A = this chain, B = another copy of it.
Amino acid sequence: MDPGTGTRRVTIVDVAAHAQVSTTAVSKVMRNAYGVSPAMRERVNAAIAELGYRPRAAARGMRGRTYTIGVVLPDIRNPFFPEIVDGISGHVRDTEYQVMLGTGSRISLPGTSASDAEVELRLIDSMVDRGMDGMVLVAPAAGQKRVDEAAAGVPLVVIGRHMRSALHDTVVDDDARGAALVVNHLADLGHRRIAHIDQREPDHGRAATMPNAVRTRGYRDAMTAQGLAGQIDVVSTGYTEEGGYLGAKQLLAREVRPTAIFAGADIVAMGVLTAVAEAGLRVPEDISVAGYDNTSFAALGPIGLTSVDQAGQQIGADAARLLLERIARRDRPSTFITTSPTLVVRRTTAAPPG
């Protein structure tokens, strides 16, 4: 029943001999350690590939490493998350690390009403139990205290949530600035009734740090700065396609409906576009729509969605780099990286009607 029937398993000694380097050099390349030249890396990786070398993760696990990074995503339907995963994967590509993904929504037990945060904490626990060397949490729902508890047990980087901690690193987009880019663009086009669809934030304690809440604050501040405080109109649903659909239905039923809808995420804008089409309205002639994340969906020919680009691949790559550094040295000082978003204007935004 052994798949490697008859053939001796390739060892690190074989790889070193094939690459004509020391086993220490091979080990260094595999650990992505400092002081390895690109030429050395290439040579060792070529030998690993040619010989099909595959160290036993279980054996390594007993020595304390499994060379596995766990990435926890809120869901796998949001087309923004693959950008982050690509960035993480691209960064670890020439190391021996593997990326394993888990999504929070999949482990809720029936008959219980586990919150997002509970479901996610259980997933983090189970990934740690399964020997992940480090974790990347994308927009985690748990509070700082619980994230810190997790970070005390495993090297950890938070993406998207504006949390500062001595125990983990953080990479965020400047969400307030991204929201302001959208509001200013729409105001410049002549819009005044600019509505926003947001993710409902049940936990006021975390409102200051969740990306959705920071975007909403950015929207409110930018509207106020534009002299449009009286026009602020926020509908809170969820960062899902359905959330966008339901939010837009509410906005389109207003006595005086908005001339522009700023959806907090592209996946929300997807639902908005469906609701607008169902209402027999044209985009952008009757109503402008903008999203956030600049996903591949936004760039699609028949969509052409104006959206905020928060450079997901770069965010993922930065997070992976910080995580590998933290795995190598647990007590390193924590780093907080903020990336600057840009606005990509396409066909869904134009001057308001009439």
Contacts and interface: CB of A to CB of B under 8 A. Distances in A.
Given A98-B130, A106-B93, A150 B111 contact: no
Name the residue among A122, A153, A303 with the largest chain B CB count within 10 angstroms: A303
A99 interface: yes
Nearest to A276: B301
Contacts of A81: 76
A78 to B, nearest CB: 10
- When all copies of this chain in the complex are counted, the total is 2
A106 B99 contact: yes
A58 B131 contact: yes
Interface string A1-32: 11100000000000000000000000000000
A107 B101 contact: no
A68 interface: yes
Contacts of A296: 77, 241, 270
A251 to B, nearest CB: 15
Contact of A45 (B77, B112, B277): B112
Contact of A273 (B76, B152, B300): B300
A278 B301 contact: yes
A302 interface: yes
Contacts of A105: 89
Contacts of A283: 302
Interface string A285-319: 00000000000110111110000000000000000
Interface string A33-69: 0000000001001101100001011100000001010
Name the residue among A90, A107, A123 with the largest chain B CB count within 10 angstroms: A107
A283 to B, nearest CB: 7
A110 interface: yes
Contacts of A85: 76, 103, 106
A3 B150 contact: yes
A54 to B, nearest CB: 5
B76 A93 contact: no
B107 A98 contact: yes
A128 to B, nearest CB: 8
B76 A76 contact: yes
A152 B276 contact: no
A179 B89 CA distance: 34
A85 B106 CA distance: 9
A278 B301 CA distance: 7
A114 B49 contact: yes
A108 interface: yes
Given A57-B130, A241-B296, A274-B301, A93 B109 contact: yes
A149 interface: yes
A108 to B, nearest CB: 7
Contacts of A101: 76, 100-103
A116 interface: no
5 contacts: A3-B152, A45-B112, A57-B131, A93-B109, A101-B101
Given A76-B82, A100-B101, 14 more contacts: A2-B153, A3-B150, A48-B109, A49-B109, A49-B114, A85-B103, A86-B106, A89-B107, A93-B110, A100-B100, A130-B130, A270-B300, A274-B300, A274-B301
